[in-house]
Homo-oligomer: A and B are copies of this chain.
Amino acid sequence: MTPAQRARLEIREKRHTGSTRGLAPGYVQCNLAVVPQALAFDFLLYCQRNARACPVLEVCDPGSPEPRQLAPGADLRTDLPKYCVYEKGRGREAADIRGLWRKDLVAFLIGSGITFDAALERAGVPTDRHRWVLNSRIPTVPAGRLRGDMVVTMRWLTPGQAIVATQVSSRFPYNHGAPIHIGDPSAIGADLAQPLFGGAVPALPKGMVPVFWACGVTPQQAALASGIEFMIAHAPAHGFVTDLEADKFCIP
């Protein structure tokens, strides 16, 4: 059993219910978005037009919860530790979504920045703390009924770490790639007061630089902003561990 398969099994058996950060390092992790088939083209188009935030790595067949390319045998209804469910523009967390599954649902797996954590660690950039998921005021390109602002992931790093993190993450274009901003959060309207995940942001330590990446939680912001009737997503930082090795899915 690979570390990825073991991680999914622990999640399925509810032995791991927390964040997937640090879980099965070196495997590509994905964010999840599940929408009714009637919205699937608009959603895929939204992802294409906003590929920095929403790089689609697999689209399951309608009604199927199995990502046959990225993790054959897995079940997206049980193999993530926590979900968010959006109904008519309102969201709630859910530990289990089996009762919500329908034959007309289409599941999208979207690249995640957690994927390059192992590569960052190898290059000397710590990844175990100081990370937030935040709203910004960077508009996304609309598609069909979907629109909204980009969600961003922020870390603070030393200037040297920020440079290395830019170099390393650039090599992972299918998992958000390079940062989209470095420095002043207000320049992109990042909402430090109300992070979507990770607790309120304290004052920036002296000598540290905030570094921002596009984030795969962006479709959830679009679900809220667009008032779409139904979407299931991962809870922020509670992703899906694929069988794909990160070092085989990047620019060497």
Interface residues of A (CB under 8 A from B): 40-41, 44-45, 48-49, 56, 58-59, 69, 141, 170-171, 173-174, 177, 251-252
Contacts and interface: CB of A to CB of B under 8 A. Distances in A.
A48 B56 contact: yes
B45 A49 contact: no
B41 A49 contact: no
Nearest to A44: B44
6 contacts: A40-B41, A44-B45, A44-B48, A49-B59, A170-B251, A170-B252
A136 B59 CA distance: 25
A173 B170 contact: no
Contacts of A41: 40-41, 44
A171 B45 contact: no
A173 B59 contact: no
A71 to B, nearest CB: 15
B59 A251 contact: no
Most chain B CB neighbours (cut-off 10 Å) among A48, A69, A174, A177: A48
